[in-house]
Amino acid sequence: MGQYDVDLFVIGGGSGGVRAARVAAEHGARVAIAEEHRWGGTCVIRGCVPKKLLVYASEASRAIEDARGHGWTIEGVSHDWAALVAAKEREISRLSAAYSTRLQKAGVEVITGRATLADANTVVIAGRRITAKFILIATGGRARRPPGKWITSDEAFDLPALPNRIAILGGGYIGVEFAHIFAGFGARVTLIHRDTHVLRGFDPEVREAVTRGLVAHGVEVIACDKLVAAGHTLTANGTTFEVDLAMAAIGRDPATAGLGLDRAGVALDGRGAITVDEWSRTNVPSIYAVGDVTGRVPLTPVAIREGHALADTLFGNRPTPIRHHLIPTAVFAQPPAATIGMTEPAARAAGHEVVVFRAKFRPMRYALSGRDEQVVIKLIVDRPTDRVLGLHMVGPDSPEIIQAAAIAITMGATKADLDRTFALHPSTAEELVLLR
Ligand code: NDP
């Protein structure tokens, strides 16, 4: 390996890149990593982490409403948006610094700046040319931005004040989560989606429950596929309205532009994502890619798994291919939705003979507050083998419940396994073992 400056050069200090760099160094490789913005990438800086902090803050308004039903008198409630943003920023800065420190402790050379490829084994950064036996591209993705006066989630985290009237375009993860966040703080939110139900691709009963949840939370949901926007004046289905803020949440694109991938001969697919195999290897044998830039499954834990597997494969003497199967995921709506495995339509389309078990009930948590909200649980079972194919849930704590259930489902749980499990009473999760 002596002919190269380093064994591995990682471009991108987000979830996938950082994990790959750290684990490779721990396996004894000589590693350098470059990041042009802040350490931690989308998840830490402008994604999962600040989003979850905002969700916690926003959900407090529901907790206050429910507390009144439990006998609390709560008066003079107000919220200081700027204080929240400042507190969020302190936490993000702490985490970002911890990422960089942890890399350095593992012996990784940490470089701030924009790296580009000169050829299949050479990176150029800040006037330096660094040769590497292997190069990992982990540059993530960027929010898609329509022309006009739209912000994206990038700016939403740092608004100087909370606008009164907000329109959100897109009914995916980000649109749904931010509609709830803003509405929880008292903004008037309109979510515009080109279908009657949000969250395309999720199980139909989850889509229906989450759409209902948005309306119950005071969000106006408009189904419209021909929105006309003139600045902050929007026209949907013939009705024109003014907003103070227009936010687009219409998907993210792989960040492959301007990296010099063409100089190294790296192939992209039609969406501009780097094409890789199950080893995260591109068509160029020395160049690999993990995370959102590959357009596989754009979720943080997936990027982390891909990065870790790559380091194990290249330097840990442990060849680890990646199979994107049974990945749990959650949409942090209020209440949240969480899911693992196949939807009912997907299971049927794949030729399974399915049995569906459902539970719909008002959780005990709302017995006294009177909140009119139902938990939805849907279990998809393969009739011939009794194996659980999918589990879908909308309700308080559903991400926590699905993560725990994911262990059993990944192990190959059958419906009979669920049936012989004792219930933990009273809980919401006990319904999983009481489905009949
Ligand atoms: P999504 O792909 O989840 O949703 C995009 C939404 O925008 C869809 O409703 C889509 O509608 C709509 N859309 C797309 N193009 C247009 C258009 N031209 N005009 C109008 N509407 C349009 O993307 P997000 O931006 O919400 O999130 C990006 C990704 O980030 C997610 O897919 C997810 O992988 C990840 N993420 C994960 C989170 C989590 O794990 N909790 C949280 C946030 C993001 P249609 O359905 O009709 O195509």
Same domain for 310 and 238? no
Cα angle 47-50-53, degrees, rounded to a multiple of 5 = 135
Q: Is the CB of 329 under 6 A from ligand 1?
A: yes
Domain C-terminal end among 250, 273, 288: 250
**DSSP 8-state code for residue 114:** -
Same domain for 213 and 164? yes
- For 93-108, the pLDDT digits (tens) are 999 999 999 999 999 9
Same domain for 120 and 160? no
CA of 417 to the centre of ligand 1 (A): 35
Q: Is the CB of 299 under 6 A from ligand 1?
A: yes
Report, as an integer, the average pLDDT of 30-57: 97
Shortest-distance Cα residue to atom 14 of ligand 1: 250
Shortest-distance Cα residue to atom 23 of ligand 1: 251
Other Cβ atoms less than 10 A from the Cβ of 71: the count is 7
197 has catalytic annotation: no
- For 165-204, the pLDDT digits (tens) are 999 999 999 999 999 999 999 999 999 999 999 999 999 9
- Distinct helix (H) and strand (E) counts, the chain: 12, 21
Encoded tokens for 242: 């003014």
Q: Is the CB of 172 under 6 A from ligand 1?
A: yes
Write the CATH number for 213.
3.50.50.60
How many whole angstroms separate alpha carbon 246 and alpha carbon 148?
10
* Ligand 1 atom closest to the CA of 194, numbered from 1: 47
- For 368-385, the pLDDT digits (tens) are 999 999 999 999 999 999
Q: Tell me what pLDDT residue 225 has.
A: 86
58 found inside a domain: no
Q: Is the CB of 195 under 6 A from ligand 1?
A: yes
Cα angle 338-428-330, degrees, rounded to a multiple of 5 = 10
Give the domain extent around 26: 6-47+83-143+253-315
